[in-house]
Structure 1
């Protein structure tokens, strides 16, 4: 059985992009941390740059709960850090390629939550038992099986974006 590594979620912000993307990403990271989505320093979230330069994302080496605006970095599609303190996550292509492929998506979240890992490992489809579950199905959550490794290249990021298609989430198994 393939090892489940994570889940990636893409969603719209619900209106215009915030004027201060670093603060918005830091707040989102803190919320994820408070909801047991952390896995030490793994996992990241991003927000489309309002000026089209790439994505604002959590810097590497910190947990969600440690995020403050200065630790949010602007990363272009080639992986260069254009603003912010700290390095970028190696898996930045998850974010840049989904954002490039989906004009309707303004943010991408990649976590290693215990519940998503368990769901992915079972091969079972998600059955919504709450209003929140309806944000993800139908259609069924996509399953990315191209690799169980890290998404380190733009090609793998594009593969993930294709697997995601028009869905709101993909389990990376």
Structure 2
């Protein structure tokens, strides 16, 4: 355990420390699955408690380097709650603060610039009902048009409006975003989102007629998701994902 972890852990609640571990794990898993973009995307998680604080990555660190103690805690105005030698990504703050402020259920917001996700975000039709993975995405999907790098606060209301109450948001010509009640939910949702896009890119490249899934099946996808995960959502797979990560490198826990 690093010296920084020894200094930080006694100063935060047990609930916050667990959230830090889960969020650091999420960063490491995003890197492991190859969805990261150097230092330029971001994942945030709300700190449990009455304050409107959330954790986000230290700007300048690779996702594969992030630890529980290195995460930066900020308020909805972007002010650091704890001292940190790192700043935060200004575009990350714009996107994540908007969603956290608008959605009480948005305990984790995950945004990536994955190659296949960006490719589909540039396709005019967006996500197509081509795979079993896609039906779960399409059952709760919204779109937001590209307005340039997300640096301007006046984009926030449009981002929030377009997201609405959905769990998946395709940022046109930009990337993918998921919202979850937990870090686990947001990560597993992103797994399905990115896999949907990868399958679509490969299917379209085949040059053969495509068979689309019927609308009635998409309409029933959420009920099927609840049944297949036994109501646990992303939490069903999360312990196994942590075991996978621990076998590779458990230093995210420090």
Q: Pick the TM interval, shorter chain.
A: 0.7 to 0.9
TM-score (normalised: structure 1): 0.80
> Residues 58-137 of structure 1: matches in 2 within 5 Å?
58-83=57-82, 85=84, 86-91=86-91, 92-126=93-127, 127=129, 129-131=131-133, 133-137=134-138
Bigger proportion of residues as strand: 1
- Greater relative contact order (CA < 8 Å, ≥ 6 in sequence): 1
Structure 1 runs (4+) deviating above 4 angstroms are none
Cα distance in 1 for residues equivalent to 2:135 and 2:46:
24
SS in 1 for 2:72: strand
Q: Which has the higher Rg, Structure 1 or Structure 2?
A: 2
TM-score (normalised: structure 2): 0.56
Q: Which runs of 5+ in 1 are unaligned?
A: 1-16
Contact 2:16 2:47 in 1 (8 A): no
Could you tell me which residue of structure 1 aligns to residue 26 of structure 2?
Answer: 28
Deviation at 1:19, TM superposition (A): 3.6
Deviation sequence 1:55-74 (CA, Å, 0-9, x none): 11111112211211222111
CA RMSD of aligned residues (A): 2.0
Change in 2 beyond 3 A, CA 1:153/1:76: farther
Cα distance in 1 for residues equivalent to 2:57 and 2:90:
11
Cα distance in 2 for residues equivalent to 1:128 and 1:47:
31
SS in 2 for 1:123: coil
Aligned residues: 154
Could you tell me which residue of structure 2 aligns to residue 47 of structure 1?
Answer: 45
Cα distance in 1 for residues equivalent to 2:155 and 2:70:
26
Cα distance in 1 for residues equivalent to 2:45 and 2:83:
14
